[in-house]
């Protein structure tokens, strides 16, 4: 599957067969014919005929009761009481949370200038009409195409892109001419407080089916995920929340809620069983219970930068590392791209004493097993934060503190 389009195909009907009458054999409930009376009547024969009549009467009576029990006037079915209070629809139930959240979730349709596009999801971020979603949901229409957002009540609005962060896979869009829109921002939780096993609720438009609600749990935290934008031109990195709530093409950009209805993440990527790859759910075949969401703590910070300046801000340490090696850490390259320095002169890593060939194995207490993991962990922080890096050089382990620098905008 490509883009964010909904898959086609109709809804098949199950092969319900209708049972026909069985042939032959006659009526199994029929009473055999009574033989002709003999010329000589005696008590024994009369008793036998009487017994046969009683048997026939008993069978007939049983059939009559059996048929009456299936007559509409004598149904044995039990009707529900209709008491809605017997159902768990309290405000803290899944039904209660969904009822409150659905009016604040929108289905986004993107149409590029060359015809490409698809469907994704977003949610109301503030009362000014800003909508938070994934970059890959709106990327196809960002260069002059058309974007629309449709609410659960059917109202559709044109939207404009306020800012995009390709590396974080976060975008902020804003409704146009939405003076009549009812804007109830979803409450933002704290992804840092999430625990494995916490209940989750995902809302989105899988395969274009708007307003779909699925449930699950937080399967893991701080899961390093690197995914392409669907077009293979850029990559995004996240230290993701993993969930088994069903996430499919079209869920991208939708909220991942906790059991209190607070947003703890933005649904963004799934693991595919087909090719073993990781990527935006729009480019994958379907859910196998491995979904990934951008933690809302990070997404909120990115959104604030995009609303303020229209550009993302990335923390960095000023090194270029190998991106394909896994398991042993993140090794700083000997030379950078196009012959540049792999350790930026006078950059944060240079000031901290890191050199080409060093292998970074930890950031604070988090084990670093690859270049993407290092980037994902760095991007959890803000420029100016100080982190402790553990690295290996010539077989010996060292530690150093690095104050993160920053880069503004996507390259």
Tokens of 326: 């896994």
Beta bridge partners of 388: 401
> Is 169 among the residues known to form the active site?
yes
Catalytic residue among 210, 219, 246, 252: 252
Closest of 408, 398, 308, 396 to residue 362, by C-alpha: 398
Query: CA angle 306-242-3, nearest 5°?
Result: 60
Enter the tokens of residue 69: 């029990």
d(CA 319, CA 37): 113
The closest alpha carbon to 164, from 184, 186, 142, 180, belongs to 142
Backbone angles phi, psi at 108, to 5 degrees: -100, 130
Give me the phi and psi of 82, to 5 degrees please: 80, 10
CB half-sphere exposure, 63, CA atoms < 13 A: 11
Which of 4, 104, 130, 136 is catalytic? The answer is 136
Catalytic residue among 140, 169, 272, 282: 169
Q: How far apart are CA 279 and CA 285, in angstroms?
A: 11
313 CB contacts (<8 Å, ≥6 apart)?
305, 383, 406, 407, 408
Quote the CA–CA distance of 265 and 314 in Å, as a whole number.
Answer: 19
Q: Per the structure block, which two tokens stand in for 258?
A: 């906790």
Residues making up the chain, counted from first to last = 411
- Is residue 136 flagged as an active site residue? yes
Per the CB < 8 A criterion, the answer to whether 70 and 77 are in contact is no
H helix or E strand, kind and range, residue 305? helix 296-309
CA angle 259, 262, 268 (to 5 degrees): 100
Cross-strand pairs, 130: 174
**Catalytic annotation, residues:** 136, 169, 252
């Amino acid at each position: 599957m490509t883009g964010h389009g909904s898959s086609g195909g109709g809804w098949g009907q199950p092969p319900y067969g209708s049972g026909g009458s069985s042939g032959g054999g006659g009526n199994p409930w029929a009473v055999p014919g009574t033989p002709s009376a003999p010329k000589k009547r005696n008590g024994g024969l009369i008793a036998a005929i009487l017994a046969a009549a009683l048997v026939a009467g008993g069978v007939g009576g049983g059939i009559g009761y059996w048929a009456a029990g299936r007559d509409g006037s004598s149904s044995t079915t039990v009707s529900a009481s209709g008491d809605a209070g017997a159902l768990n629809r309290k405000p803290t139930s899944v039904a209660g949370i969904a009822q409150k959240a659905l009016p604040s979730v929108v289905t986004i349709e993107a149409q590029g200038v060359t015809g490409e596009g698809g469907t994704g999801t977003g949610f109301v971020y503030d009362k000014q009409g800003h909508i938070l979603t994934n970059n890959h949901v709106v990327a196809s229409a960002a260069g002059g195409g058309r974007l629309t957002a449709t609410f659960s009540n059917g109202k559709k609005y044109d939207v404009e892109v306020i800012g995009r962060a390709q590396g974080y896979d976060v975008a902020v869009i804003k409704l146009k001419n939405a003076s009549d829109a009812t804007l109830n921002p979803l409450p933002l939780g704290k992804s840092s407080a999430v625990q494995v096993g916490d209940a989750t609720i995902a809302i989105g438009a899988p395969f274009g089916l708007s307003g779909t609600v699925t449930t699950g749990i937080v399967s893991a935290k701080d899961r390093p995920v690197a995914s392409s934008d669907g077009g293979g031109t850029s990559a995004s990195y996240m230290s993701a929340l993993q969930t088994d709530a069903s996430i499919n093409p079209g869920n991208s950009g939708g909220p991942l809620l906790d059991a209190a209805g607070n947003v703890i993440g933005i649904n963004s990527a799934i693991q595919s069983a087909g090719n073993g790859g990781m990527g935006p759910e729009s480019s994958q075949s379907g859910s196998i219970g491995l979904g990934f969401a951008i933690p809302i703590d990070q997404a909120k910070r990115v959104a604030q930068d995009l609303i303020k300046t229209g550009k993302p801000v990335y923390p960095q340490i000023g090194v270029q590392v190998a991106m394909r090696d896994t398991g042993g850490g993140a090794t700083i390259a000997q030379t950078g791209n196009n012959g540049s320095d792999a350790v930026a002169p006078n950059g944060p890593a240079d000031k901290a004493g890191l050199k080409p060939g060093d292998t970074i194995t930890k950031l604070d207490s988090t084990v670093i097993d690859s270049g993407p993991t290092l980037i994902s962990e760095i991007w959890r922080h803000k420029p100016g934060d100080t982190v402790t890096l553990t690295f290996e050089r010539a077989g010996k382990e060292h530690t150093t503190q690095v104050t993160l620098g920053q880069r503004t905008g996507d390259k």
